[in-house]
A and B are shown apart, each in its own frame.
Chain A
Amino acid sequence: MNWRTLFKPELADSEQRQELEFYLEMAAEDFAARGMNPADAQRAARIKLGNTTLIHEEIHTMNTPKLIDTCVRHARHTLRTLRRNPTFAGAAILTLALAIGANTAVFTVVNSVLLKPMPYPRSDELVDMRHLAPGAPGVASLTGGLNLSASLYFTYSEQNRTFQTLGVWIPGTAAVTGVAEPEQVRTVLVSDGTLQALNVQPVLGRSLSAADQALTSAETVLLGYGYWEARFGGDKSVIGRTLSVDSRPRVIAGVMPAGFRIADTATDLILPLRFDRSRLMLAGFAFQSIGRLKPGVSIAQANADLARLIPVWMDSWPSLVGAKTGDPLAAKVYGAWRITPALRPLRDSIVGDIGPILWVVMGTLGMVMLIAGANVANLLLVRAAARQHELGVRAALGAGWGRNAGELLIESMLLACAGGALGTGLAYAGLRLLVRIGPANLPRLSEISLDQRALGFSVAVALLSGLLLGLIPAVKYAAAGIPAALRGEGRASTGSIEHNRTRNILVVAQVALALVLLIGSSLMVRTFNALHRVDPGFTAAAQLQTFRVAIPDALVASPEMVTRTENAIVEKLRAIPGVTSAAFASALPMDGSQPNWDGVFKEGQDYVPGEPMTMRNFVNVSPGFFPAAGTHLLAGRDFTWSDLYGIRPYVVISENLAREWWGSASTALGKRIRSSPIAPWREVIGVVQDVRISGVNEPAPATIYWPVLAEIPYLSKVVMATRNAAFVLRSNRAGTAGLLEEVQRAVWSVNAGLPLAETRTMQTIYDRSLARTSFTLVMLAIAGAMALVLGIIGIYGVIAYTVAQRRREVGIRMALGARFETVTWMFVRSGLVLSAAGIVLGVVAAAGLSRLMSSLLFGVTPLDPVTYAVTALILLSAALGASYLPARRAAADNPLETLRGE
């Protein structure tokens, strides 16, 4: 068969036309030669040749497979008719494009985040080793449970039977000097087994091995690809060179491939963990872990295998550094914790709890798709109704149901395909925007891409909607009896009531779905407001500049000198013009760092051996931190520098702890606490307001504030400084480059080897902690707005159509003296009835569906009556407007003209 004749019939035709014209000329000449006059000769030639159209058609049919030909012919015809109705085509295509685009984009995110395998070989074998510890108060409530300690890692690694390999890792930062300006870079410390479990080889040099973990070996480092390109320009000779990390020389062993991440953590440097086995103890559950199961081993088997090792571990390691192993007390404490391995596939651990959000968003956009589909179906129904006469004539001339239905189907398919193509383009643009904005807490963001599966989804949605949309009018009209269709012509018929029913059902469904989405987004708006009303425990976050400075051992050895250096930095910061206060702490609220949990006892209720301890959050703060951050002091006083340098045993506690133990903030003053029987008692000198350290939606944990220079809480006579300090300073110029430059100069004037890291304002930290809620809110708001607009258009369309159908009736009524209001009300009422039915259905559906999003809500219940009532009212008044406009136009028509026009 010939594609040219299929798609360019004109071209093939022209050749044949030439051939036939040549025949006509020859024949005419012959006839003329026999004495005919030219006109007669030409007529005779034509008669001799016969019907040229039939000849063309016959040749054409010979060339073309029938089905495709029919489709293409119909498509060409449909394209022509669509071109004549650009408004209709544009509205339908745009509606579908928006809906398909939004769905494709969200499906792509769902696919990339939740469905696609991780970018490691046989990634389904990878697990994250977490533990449940239901008997450990405080820890049990932590999301994700208990991590591994170094001792647990050694026990697991050396004695397991179910793993190919396993390792632990921990992210951090380090100062690199000697390459450019001193720079704080992202690091990940990995034990032997981590990189082997991920099974990703370096692109250059070698990977890390057990040898790099040995204390006696030379210290090594792997470079991340991005860091290697940025700092070394991709120079292949870096292998074997030395890099100064935290003022210690390290040999560059290799370069990891581009895009390599450990779990979902991107890093500049990978450093080997080097444990001193003689200084390990049971505790210290700080390490994240990655294990690769042996092929065919299930999570349950691995859990059982590790559970077997927990008692082994308790017997093999001391409870305190240097103590004897097999401490019965330790066994009792940890026994009471009931540590149980609870392995999770690595992917689940990375994806975390984003799943429900994505599914909610996906569900809402699915509803938008339905609403959009209902709108386009309505448009198609109107068109089909308008073509009813044409279809009837065609049926009378012998077109079967299939032919008419085919035509309607092809029309909807064309619209859907155009919408799908445009929508995929929109999705692509939207995803690029999403990755650029990079909402915090969206895992695997770097892996989001419009892949084959997403494209397949888009095509499937387009085809399916094309099919369904075409079927509705096809079923309704293609088979419409010839007589009925033809009889209806000319006079406004009432036979269309039947057709209006389909349209009415579609509108009711649309309103119901729109209400569900509006309620969903209103609940998110109320959640957002509720979160913003929560006092986070600090004030005016936008004027609070924060940054981190880490002082490595190699640079400043003694703890007191570390604090004096930091003290000097604070003084320099305060001297910057416009800075009203400055201070530092070990961690900032909501900064994403893991809370530092530990147990503590009040005087009179001391450590009972074997009793589980309630875990409290420990934070170290410098003098002046509370006023700088805006955390109100409720009773007592702040630390002073002389408290610090005198190593005075003072603490400040949070209000909730004071209330829990002593009833009120003021009664807590002067009371004493300690965190282990061998540690000295410490006096409570102040009580501050609660701080929402894990985000405004999480309750504030009971917190003990220690001085930044103090004896280690659970040891005696060992003084420790806060080497990795988060500085805060209050200034109107927070966040400006000018201020940061002065801050950098202030820090370097104290010690030129100290880089700044994580420079951001407290507002950024605060916003990031709300990023997930904001993301959900924005997505639902977009879906809700689309639903509202589409729903209103739907109602408007139906009322306008009814009005158009009943113009004659309105004209007669008006001519007979009906009042303007009566006629308007007649139409508005039908609009209101439809919307009311939709709203009732919508409220019921929303009550059922909103429960699915209850985990995303804060400060509002899924069935909040105010939200429901207000949303329903908004929708109802919008529907009122949408019905009133066409109704008023009809009533305002001059009845005489209307009737004359009929």
Chain B
Amino acid sequence: MPRRESPLQSEMLQGTLDMLILQTLVLGPAHGYTIAHAIERGSEEVLQIEHGSLYPALHRLQKRGWIASFDGTSENNRKAKYYRLTPEGRRQLAAQTSRWEQVVRAIGRILSPARKTEQ
């Protein structure tokens, strides 16, 4: 089925956000607010994501079967929707992480000599 992709995020950023969410969930199930803060803090506040954009991403990952949701109770005793990683999600995380690292290495190799010549 044809699906309109989000105009808010570029392909690159979207993939990155997905990866970050999956990575966060490796540590255990969490609800949306925790995930948002985990990503923000984990990146030492460098990645300032608009928290709203997290929810469409969660929805998308759930539809792909990489994460699953269940109703849980939050730390302050409120009903909340929790997400956890599925085995498929774990595989995807591994694959994407290694590809990400490849891309980063490749970009690094391209950028490093340039920096050297500048110096």
Binding site for B on A (CB under 8 A): 1, 15-16, 18-20, 22-23, 25-27, 29, 48-52, 54-55, 58-59, 61-63, 65-66
Contact = CB atoms under 8 A, between A and B. Distances in A.
A62 B63 contact: yes
B81 to A, nearest CB: 5
B33 A50 contact: no
Nearest to A2: B63
Contacts of A27: 33, 51
Nearest to B6: A58
A19 B32 contact: yes
Interface stretch (B54-62, B98-106, B108-116): B54-62
Given A16-B55, A25-B78, A50-B53, 10 more contacts: A18-B81, A23-B32, A23-B51, A26-B76, A27-B51, A54-B8, A54-B52, A58-B56, A62-B59, A62-B63
Contacts of A20: 52, 55
A55 B56 contact: yes
Interface of B: 1-4, 6, 8, 31-33, 36, 50-53, 55-56, 59-60, 63, 74, 76, 78-81
A26 B51 CA distance: 12
B32 A61 contact: no
A62 B51 contact: no
Contacts of B52: 20, 49-52, 54-55
Please indicate which of the listed interface residues B2, B55, B79 has the most CB atoms of chain A within 10 Å of its own CB: B55
Contact of B33 (A16, A26, A52, A61): A26
A27 B55 CA distance: 15
B60 A62 contact: yes
A58 B14 CA distance: 13
Contacts of B3: 61-62
A26 B56 contact: no
A94 to B, nearest CB: 39
A49 B51 contact: yes
Please indicate which of the listed interface residues A26, A51, A63, A66 has the most CB atoms of chain B within 10 Å of its own CB: A26
A66 B4 contact: yes
A65 B2 contact: yes
Nearest to A20: B55
A22 B31 contact: yes
A29 B76 contact: yes
B15 to A, nearest CB: 16
Please indicate which of the listed interface residues B6, B8, B33, B78 has the most CB atoms of chain A within 10 Å of its own CB: B33
**Chain A to chain B: the 6 pairs with minimum beta-carbon distance, closest first:** A50-B52, A26-B33, A50-B50, A58-B56, A49-B52, A65-B1
Contacts of A59: 55-56, 59
B58 to A, nearest CB: 9
A435 B31 CA distance: 67
A25 B80 CA distance: 11
Contacts of B53: 50, 55
Contact of B2 (A16, A23, A49, A66): A66
Nearest to B4: A61
Contacts of B4: 61-62, 66
Contacts of B33: 22-23, 26-27
7 contacts: A19-B81, A22-B79, A22-B80, A22-B81, A26-B76, A50-B51, A54-B8
Contacts of B56: 55, 58-59, 62
Contacts of B8: 54, 58
A54 B55 CA distance: 11
Please indicate which of the listed interface residues A16, A59, A63, A66 has the most CB atoms of chain B within 10 Å of its own CB: A59
Contacts of A66: 2, 4
Contacts of A29: 76
A63 B55 CA distance: 14
A699 B79 CA distance: 93
A51 to B, nearest CB: 6
B81 A1 contact: no
Contacts of B80: 19, 22
Contacts of B50: 48-50
A26 B4 CA distance: 31
A51 B2 CA distance: 25
A42 B75 CA distance: 20
B32 A22 contact: yes
A455 B82 CA distance: 51
B57 to A, nearest CB: 10
Contacts of A51: 52
Contacts of A50: 50-53
Contacts of A1: 1
B47 to A, nearest CB: 14
Contacts of B31: 22
Contacts of B74: 22, 26
A18 B78 CA distance: 11
B100 to A, nearest CB: 24
Contacts of A22: 31-33, 74, 78-81
Contacts of A48: 50-51
Nearest to A50: B52
Please indicate which of the listed interface residues B31, B50, B78, B79 has the most CB atoms of chain A within 10 Å of its own CB: B50
A231 B35 CA distance: 83
B94 to A, nearest CB: 25
B10 to A, nearest CB: 15
A1 B63 CA distance: 9
A48 B36 CA distance: 10
A101 B80 CA distance: 54
Nearest to A1: B1
A23 B54 CA distance: 11
A688 to B, nearest CB: 85
A54 B8 CA distance: 9
Contacts of B79: 22
Contacts of B60: 62
B38 to A, nearest CB: 13
A769 B81 CA distance: 79
A27 B51 CA distance: 10
A49 B80 CA distance: 17
A48 B39 CA distance: 14
Nearest to B75: A26
Nearest to B58: A19
Contacts of B63: 62-63
Contacts of A63: 63
Contacts of B6: 58
A239 B50 CA distance: 89
Contacts of B76: 26, 29
Contacts of A26: 33, 74, 76
A127 B3 CA distance: 61
Contacts of A62: 3-4, 56, 59-60, 63
B34 to A, nearest CB: 8
